[in-house]
Amino acid sequence: MRPILLTPGPLTTSDRTRAAMGRDWGSRDDAFVRMSEAVRARLGTLAGAGTTHATVPLQGAGTYAVEAAIDTLVPRDGKLLVLANGAYGQRAAAIAARLRRDVATLALPEDEAFTPEAASAALRADPAVTDVLLVHLETTSGLLNPLEPIAAVVAAAGRRLLLDAMSSFGAVPIDLRATPCCAVMASTNKCLEGVPGVSFVIAEAGHLRAMASNAGSTVLDLEAQWRGFERDGQWRFTPPTHVIAALSAALDQLDEEGGVAARGARYRRHMDALTAGMDRLGFHPYLDPAVQGPVILTLRDPGGAFSFPALYAALAAEGIVLYPGKLTREASFRIGCIGAITLADIRRTLDAVGAFMGAHAARGAAAD
Ligand SMILES: *Cc1c(COP(=O)(O)O)cnc(C)c1O
């Protein structure tokens, strides 16, 4: 049975993407170096990066890119302001503190988006801040923060913006030609629909160069990693050859689908069908539709006799994987809309949830 992962990643990949891993590549092999360099260029192009930005892939999960970006790009005597309205913002702040950077957190409740006014006021109040970290799509709730107006006020205040675009990259447009941004961090196994194992940072080349030797880490030093690629197209350490081959195939499929806008539209159709279908079954969304992104839906636990672990187990038995909630103040669970899935998979999921709820009601009635 083909598993349907309705999670924020790793997610359902296509047969073609997995088939691309069916051969071995020598790391110094010309064909691999060419493929790896092409992937690097294509990732930058997706974000509208020109010669002003450099794309630096890194072996490891998305959090490796977040830590690498902070360690490399925030000067040791700089100060990072984290705009946090969920667990990923809080994690970035914890990483910065662990890296002994001066860090301030501007926190909002998990269902509230940041506004440019709030960001601007925080920057006026703290002149020591050199860098601002924004989580584009907060996967904790599924909320989409407004990137463009926040990027504009950060730039107007003369600060650098680091964007955690982990769960938006590939589905929500990011255009570095129009949106001032020092770094965009993302990974292969979310909206790009690749397999897990590689993350990447698209960083302003001038700042990256100026930050040589700033990182305390060797393996997470983005500037050194970048120099390696620029010198001979080679990864500094053992490259994740199969992951890059899968990503190359996944990028072909993204192009064929029609690019970022078309992919975002497909996910939005999944989201709309899921929201309406779950509503009919008595599950209500946690977020206001105005701030709901197209990637993952958080549903309130309806209470009563409902048990998410029981629902999870019932769907898992049919090969459908849901996701637990991550909200700090409310019982909830999540259903992802992303991956190599179709509306038919969403309908099948709704049917399975409906069957579970029906059986549940029947059991409840029998017990009365
Ligand atoms: C998934 C995610 C991360 C971390 O990625 P991992 O691959 O789990 O390390 C960071 N930020 C956001 C917004 C994410 O969705």
For residue range 12-44, what is the model confidence (pLDDT) as tens digits? 999 999 999 999 999 889 999 999 999 999 999
Residue 364 pLDDT more than 70?
no
Element (H, E) at 144: strand 143-144
Choosing from 7, 11, 58, 63 the residue with most ligand 1 atoms within 8 A of its CB, the one to mutate for a pocket test is 63
- State the fold for domain 259-367: Aspartate Aminotransferase, domain 1 (3.90.1150)
- Coil, strand, or helix at residue 127? coil
pLDDT at residue number 365: 60
- 80 C-alpha to center of ligand 1: Å? 19
> 360 pLDDT band (50/70/90 cuts)?
confident
339: left (phi over 0), alpha (psi -120 to 50) or beta: left
Q: Which atom of ligand 1 is nearest to the CA of 66?
A: 10
Choosing from 5, 139, 296 the residue with most ligand 1 atoms within 8 A of its CB, the one to mutate for a pocket test is 139
Using alpha carbons, select from 79, 43, 340 the residue that is nearest to residue 200: 43
Pocket of ligand 1 from Cβ distances under 6 Å: 8, 61-63, 66, 88, 135, 139, 164, 166-167, 187
Domain ranges in the chain with CATH number 3.90.1150.10: 259-367
pLDDT at residue number 2: 86
DSSP 51-81: TTEEEEEEES-HHHHHHHHHHHHS-TT-EEE
Average of per-residue pLDDT values in the chain: 96
Task: Give per-residue pLDDT as tens, 161-170.
Answer: 999 999 999 9
- 183 C-alpha to center of ligand 1: Å? 15
DSSP 277-302: HHHHTT--BSS-GGGB-SSEEEEE--
Task: Give per-residue pLDDT as tens, 40-70.
Answer: 999 999 999 999 999 999 999 999 999 999 9
- 232 C-alpha to center of ligand 1: Å? 30
- Do the Cβ atoms of 51 and 176 come closer than 8 Å? no
- 287 C-alpha to center of ligand 1: Å? 20
Domain ranges in the chain with CATH number 3.40.640.10: 15-255
Mean pLDDT on 167-196: 98
- Do the Cβ atoms of 133 and 70 come closer than 8 Å? yes
Task: Return phi, psi of residue 224, to 5°.
Answer: -65, -40
Distances (CA, A) of 85 to 105, 218, 243: 10, 31, 31
Element (H, E) at 345: helix 343-367
Q: Which amino acid residue places its CA nearest to atom 14 of ligand 1?
A: 166
- Rounded to whole angstroms, the Cα distance separating 65 from 215 reads 13
Edge-to-edge strands, sheet with 332-336: 296-300, 332-336, 323-324
Q: Which atom of ligand 1 is nearest to the CA of 165?
A: 13
Residue 171 pLDDT more than 60?
yes
Q: Are strands 4-5 and 320-321 parallel, antiparallel or unpaired?
A: parallel
- 246 C-alpha to center of ligand 1: Å? 19
Q: Which atom of ligand 1 is nearest to the CA of 189?
A: 7
pLDDT at residue number 326: 87
Residue 367 pLDDT more than 80?
no
The architecture in CATH of the region 15-255 reads 3-Layer(aba) Sandwich (3.40)
- Do the Cβ atoms of 252 and 325 come closer than 8 Å? no
This prediction's pTM: 0.96
Q: Which two tokens stand for residue 87?
A: 């667990």
Task: Give per-residue pLDDT as tens, 70-95.
Answer: 999 999 999 999 999 999 999 999 99
- 13 C-alpha to center of ligand 1: Å? 18
Q: Which amino acid residue places its CA nearest to atom 6 of ligand 1?
A: 62
- 135 C-alpha to center of ligand 1: Å? 10
